[in-house]
């Protein structure tokens, strides 16, 4: 079982036991307090011997000398002060946790010569420690309960200048970390355990935080005319759900902002079935819905002063005697008809009804959808940036900046009428694929036909949500990508 560290904040002082941690900026030296635990000047010597110069993420790891009250001393390089952003503090906290996972007591002095460490930076550092400790091991029956892998209940003490301010910032950042870990849990969970109904139940649990939940069943979606979403669901014995999460933290008269997530709990491709190799990854095809659910958790937990709607379309895409066929024509809630050329392009069919429903029901300030929508976005951008598609330059700019600040980065992709015409159909208003070229863009053009005049953005997170490379802040398959990005967007532009 994951044992998360217990984090507390204290006034700056010399660490008294366990592992002591100090920060050093590029070309700088350790804070004066370090001398108190270093009677023989071993820190300076070790820095010199290892040519440590404070470069970002460089580490000096020392067994404390006789006469010191602590056991181990870690010096972390912070890099050039003017280049250290919010995401870098989180990464640094994660790096520290990675180095000290089996240490019972860690005391880090968050002071650095030549730079001011804000309460938010300290909270980000703590967030990184928590996120790095996350481990999805609930199905490992041979628990690591002895030997070197024995999980330790770590007590981490972060020493700062202003403890009250750091504690306040942490109370918010911790809520965001919990939201990220919820999103990871949902992505990592296998599809036999997490069907649409079970996913809806996990979302429903957010009511404990004051999130209002509404769950639409198949019958209700039929009545609304959601023929595109229901066409995908019809091949599965497990019925679909559409979950609406509402967080009313803003003024009553304020229009809400809205986030919409693709929640395909498993994507076999349907009748246009996928090849067997790697198909197990398609348990993560609900990464968009997971991010929206994690985001709602984060916003509620930190009591965000905004009105926010989260909508997730939950279905399973299966081949079956009752599954939809290539060539079928379905009618979406908007009234527009769609020729289903490829049943594996199902995400857009789910999202188009969820987007239209959102727009009609809530007239939101903006809609942002997240979806593991296309393999093509992996070819274009790899695993470090999500594809950003947008009909509004201001919103696109805000999302881009939030990405740079948090480290959950995006890259804007082009859209336009020349791409839009690639999805015109011989038989219906549109078809669900546009051919081999520009696959991520034609998918976005499809969605755009369902958002009217609402400022809208689509984030293609097929490369960033799952199958994630190990980083300082994540060692798990699911990353929880999107929670931090969109929490920051709301915090910076849509609160108060
Ligand atoms: N869920 C997939 C996209 C995907 C691929 C997500 C790899 C994560 C990793 C999506 O439903 C899909 O199958 N897209 C097709 C679209 C094609 C049929 C036009 C694809 O990308 O191949
Ligand atoms: Mn698919
Ligand atoms: Zn899919």
Q: For residues 288 and 465, is the Cβ–Cβ distance under 8 A?
A: yes
Alpha-carbon distance 449 to 417, whole Å?
11
Number of the ligand 1 atom closest to the C-alpha atom of 432: 19
Q: Indicate whether residue 372 lines ligand 1 (CB < 6 A).
A: yes
Name the 3-class secondary structure at 144. Answer: coil
Q: What is the pLDDT of residue 113?
A: 87
Q: How far apart are CA 202 and CA 190, in angstroms?
A: 14
- Ligand 1 contact, 352 CB (< 6 A): no
Atom number, ligand 1, closest to the C-alpha of residue 372: 6
Q: What is the pLDDT of residues 157-193, one digit of tens each?
A: 999 999 999 999 999 999 999 999 999 999 999 999 9
Q: Is the CB of 94 under 6 A from ligand 1?
A: no
Closest CA to 402 of 293, 494, 272: 494
C-beta of residue 317 within 8 angstroms of C-beta of residue 340? no
CA distance 463 to 2: 26
| Predicted local distance difference test score (pLDDT) of residue 151 | 78
**Percentage, residues of the chain above pLDDT 90:** 97
- Interval 61-69 mean pLDDT: 96
Number of residues in the chain? 496
pLDDT digits (tens, 9 = 90+) for 9-45: 999 999 999 999 999 999 999 999 999 999 999 999 9
Asked if 137 and 3 touch (Cβ cutoff 8 Å), the reply is no
Query: Is the Cβ–Cβ distance between 26 and 78 less than 8 Å?
Result: yes
Rounded average pLDDT over 90-101: 98
pLDDT of residue 199: 99
Ligand 3 centroid to Cα of residue 374, in Å, is 7
Q: pTM of the entire structure?
A: 0.97
Cβ(49)–Cβ(16) under 8 Å?
no
Region 471-488: what's the mean pLDDT?
A: 98
Q: What phi, psi does 216 have (nearest 5°)?
A: -90, 135
Residues with CB under 5 Å of ion ligand 2 are: 267, 344, 346
Q: Which ligand is nearest to the CA of 439?
A: 1
Lookup: tokens for 453: 């005049």
Q: How far is the CA of 358 from the centre of ligand 1 (A)?
A: 24
- The torsion defined by the Cα of 302, 492, 295 and 1, in degrees rounded to 10, comes to -60
Q: Which residues of 198-225 are buried (b: 16+ CB within 10 A; e: fewer)?
A: bbbebbeebeebebebebbebeebeebb
Instruction: State the distance from the centre of ligand 3 to the C-alpha of 402, rounded, in angstroms.
Output: 26
Atom in ligand 1 nearest the alpha carbon of residue 374:
21
pLDDT value of residue 149: 63
User: Ligand 1: does its nearest atom lie under 6 Å from the Cβ of 435?
Assistant: no
Residue with tokens 């008809």: 337
Angle at 362 between CA 359 and CA 364, to 5 degrees: 70
The Å distance, Cα 440 to ligand 1 centre, comes to 9
Containing 246, the helix (H) or strand (E) segment is strand 241-248
Give per-residue pLDDT as tens, 255-311.
999 999 999 999 999 999 999 999 999 999 999 999 999 999 999 999 999 999 999
For ligand 1, say whether the CB of 298 is within 6 Å of any of its atoms: no
pLDDT in tens, 452-465: 999 999 999 999 99
Ligand 1 probe mutation, 324, 375, 479, most atoms within 8 A of CB = 375
**Residues 480, 475: Cα–Cα separation, whole Å:** 11
Q: Output the CA–CA distances (angstroms, integers) from residue 473 to 110, 169, 386, 406, 407, in the order listed.
A: 18, 19, 18, 12, 11
Residue nearest to atom 22 of ligand 1 (CA): 375
Query: Does the structure show a pLDDT above 90 at 96?
Result: yes
To test the ligand 1 pocket, which listed residue (235, 273, 374) has its Cβ within 8 A of the most ligand atoms?
374
Catalytic residues: 274, 348
Question: Residue 142's pLDDT is what?
Answer: 83
Would the CA dihedral through 44, 49, 53, 58 be positive or negative? negative
Q: Does ligand 1 lie within 6 Å of residue 347's CB atom?
A: yes
pLDDT score of 337 more than 80: yes
Q: What pLDDT is stored for residue 144 in this prediction?
A: 63
Tell me the average pLDDT of the chain.
97
pLDDT in tens, 105-131: 999 999 998 899 999 999 999 999 999
Mean pLDDT over residues 54-80, rounded? 97
Ligand 1 atom with the shortest distance to the CA of 267: 1
Q: How far apart are CA 370 and CA 462, in angstroms?
A: 9
Residue nearest to atom 8 of ligand 1 (CA): 462
Distance, CA of 179 to CA of 247 (rounded, Å): 14
């Amino acid at each position: 079982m994951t044992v998360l560290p217990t984090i507390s904040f204290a006034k700056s002082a010399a660490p008294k036991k366990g592992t002591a941690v100090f920060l050093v900026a590029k070309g700088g030296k350790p804070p004066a307090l370090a001398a108190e635990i270093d009677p023989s000047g071993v820190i300076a010597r070790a820095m010199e011997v290892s040519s440590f110069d404070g470069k970002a993420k460089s580490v000096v790891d020392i067994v404390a000398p006789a006469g010191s009250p602590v056991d181990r001393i870690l010096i972390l390089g912070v890099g050039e002060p003017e280049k250290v952003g919010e995401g870098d503090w989180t990464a640094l906290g994660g790096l520290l946790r990675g180095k000290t996972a089996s240490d019972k007591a860690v005391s880090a002095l968050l002071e650095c010569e030549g730079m001011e460490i804000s309460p938010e930076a300290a909270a980000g550092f703590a967030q990184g420690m928590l996120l790095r400790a996350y481990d999805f091991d609930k199905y490992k029956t041979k628990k690591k309960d002895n030997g070197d892998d024995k999980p330790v209940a770590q007590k981490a003490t972060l020493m700062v200048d202003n403890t009250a301010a750091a504690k306040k910032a942490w109370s918010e950042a911790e809520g965001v970390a919990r939201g990220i870990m919820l999103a990871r849990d949902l992505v990592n969970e296998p599809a036999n355990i997490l069907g649409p109904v079970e996913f809806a139940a996990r979302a429903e649990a957010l009511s404990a935080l004051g999130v209002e939940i509404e769950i639409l069943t198949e019958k209700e979606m039929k009545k609304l005319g959601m023929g595109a979403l229901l066409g995908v669901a019809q091949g599965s014995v497990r019925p679909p759900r559409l979950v609406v999460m509402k967080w009313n933290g803003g003024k009553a008269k304020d229009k809400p902002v809205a986030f919409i997530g693709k929640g395909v709990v498993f994507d076999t491709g349907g009748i246009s079935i996928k090849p067997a190799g790697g198909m197990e990854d398609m348990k993560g095809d609900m990464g968009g819905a997971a991010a929206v659910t994690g985001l709602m958790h984060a916003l509620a937990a930190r009591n965000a002063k905004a009105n926010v709607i989260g909508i997730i379309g939950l279905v399973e895409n299966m081949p079956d005697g009752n599954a939809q066929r290539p060539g079928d024509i379905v009618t979406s809630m908007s009234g527009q008809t769609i020729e289903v050329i490829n049943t594996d392009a199902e995400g857009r069919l789910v999202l188009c009804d969820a987007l239209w429903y959102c727009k009609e029901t809530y007239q939101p300030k903006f809609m942002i959808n997240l979806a593991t929508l296309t393999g093509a976005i992996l070819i274009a951008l790899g695993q470090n940036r999500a594809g950003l598609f947008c009909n509004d330059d201001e919103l696109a700019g805000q999302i881009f900046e939030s990405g740079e600040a948090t480290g959950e980065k995006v890259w804007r992709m082009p859209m336009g009428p020349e791409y839009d015409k690639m999805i015109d159909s011989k038989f219906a208003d549109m078809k669900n694929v546009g051919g081999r070229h520009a696959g991520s863009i034609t998918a976005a053009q499809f969605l755009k036909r369902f958002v009217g005049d609402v400022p809208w953005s689509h984030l293609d997170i097929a490369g960033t949500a799952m199958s994630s490379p190990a980083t300082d802040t994540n060692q798990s398959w699911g990353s929880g990508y999107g929670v931090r990005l969109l929490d920051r967007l709301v915090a910076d532009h849509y609160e108060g």
